[in-house]
Amino acid sequence: MTISLESIPRFTADEALIAAERDYGLVGGASALPSERDQNFRIADAAGNKFVLKIANLNDAPALLDFQNQALRRVADAPSSCRVQRVVPSLSGQDITMVCDARTGAAYSVRVLTWIEGDVLANSRSRDPSLTRVLFDSIGECMAGIDATLQGFVHPAMHRVLQWDLRHAGLARENAAILPRGRRGRVERTFTRWEEIDWTVLRHSVIHGDANDHNLIVEAGRMVGLLDFGDMVYSATVCEPAVALAYAMLDDENPRAVAAQMIHAYHRRYPLTEVEQRALFPLVMARLSMSVCYSAHNRARNPNDPYQVVTETAAWELLEELESWSTGEALAMIREACGTLA
């Protein structure tokens, strides 16, 4: 279920700009943005307005893109301090247009979304403990608010097998064999704990599924926006804070404090059940293990793309740190964060 390299669009910035002007009336400059499975371009017009033109992966059906569009509308229309991009219709009123690759003849779906100002979390970390507390409190609050908004949201395309869905971490595990022998045991122990999760007792809903540190927008030390709904899926709701925690703790000197603050804020807005609290730590570990497994796979097949392995080193370091926490110790921290943490 890994992404086929042949399905990833290969348009130039000039070609993207032609499509933006032809179908959306946007005239200006285009610059490429990083992405794993599709292509994104920032379009800036003469008036200073900015947009994101997204050229979808060849395998992304229009129904899947409509799923993302409708979720974006639902979240954007809900009262929240967390902003998401809005869908920009084409000149003919369509949410999705098409562009043809003249080299291959393949037709790709195109969308335009609004731009959100701010910097991504990966570039906005502070070592000031007082600022850190506010930042991670806001992340927990924002993600809980989005999950609350998406509760009850249904769409025909929400049920799919996605390689990054924590329910399907076994797909990533298939790549464990290519890891260095000394590290293979660490991820295998993590996946063994993942196998013990009882998914039938967990709440399920549509989740964003990819609150990594390159998708969280930060301004003035607080999370203010969330990007990239491309990994949305119907899954266990607790997978949402698990993913957010895995990436928020990367490169932080005190991951325990980060986790406690985020869990407290999430639980305050959208309370975690007892069984979700028990599943949370194994899911965080599983997400990190998935990340290093896919990084190893991506490096082997596409060694010239640094974005594919952007979190690998930090993920290994965090895995080592978290493995030193006992199961009881981690659960006690989570329960305290959900209860009496100030």
Confidence (pLDDT) at 181 = 85
Task: Evaluate whether 51 touches 74 at the Cβ level (below 8 Å).
Answer: no
Q: How far from each other are the two terminal CA atoms of the chain, in whole angstroms?
A: 43
Confidence (pLDDT) at 123 = 84
CATH code of the domain containing 10:
3.30.200.20
Decide if 342 is inside a domain. Answer: no
Total domains present in the chain? 2
| Domain housing 322 | 119-337
| Regions in the chain scoring below 50 on pLDDT | 341-342
Last residue in a domain, options 61, 96, 114: 114
For the whole model, what pTM was predicted?
0.91
Q: How far is CA 134 from each of CA 84, 125, 252, 256, 279, rounded to the nearest angstrom? A: 20, 12, 15, 15, 26
DSSP string, 322-338: HHTS-HHHHHHHHHHHT
Rounded distance between C-alpha atoms, residue 135 and residue 183, angstroms:
32
Same domain, 108 and 141: no
